[in-house]
Structure 1
Amino acid sequence: MNKLLKIITVAGAFAASSAQAIPLQLEITQLDWFNPVNGSNIVYSGDDGIAGNEAISWGVPVSQKQSGYELDVYKSTFDVTSDQSFLLGDFTHHNYVMKRGTSIYEASLKMDVTVSTPSIQDTINLSFLFDHTETTNNCSSSPTCSNDLIKVVSNANNQFSFNNTLYEFEILGFMTNGVLSDIFSTVENQSSVAALVGRVNTVSVSEPSSVGIFSLGLAALLLARRKSLKWG
Structure 2
Amino acid sequence: MESPIEVTEGVDGWNTIIFLYNSALKEVGTKLEILNDEFQHVHQYNPIEYIKRRIKTPESIVKKLKRYGYESTIDNMVNYVNDIAGIRIVCSFTSDIYRMAEMIGKQNDLTVVSVKDYIKHPKESGYKSYHMLVTVPIFLSDRVVDTKVEIQIRTIAMDFWASLEHKIYYKFEGNAPEYISKDLRECAEIVSMLDAKMLSLNEAILEAKAAQEAELLREEKDRADKEK
| TM-score w.r.t. length of structure 2 | 0.30
Please say which structure displays the higher CA radius of gyration: 1
| TM-score w.r.t. length of structure 1 | 0.30
More helix per residue: 1 or 2? 2
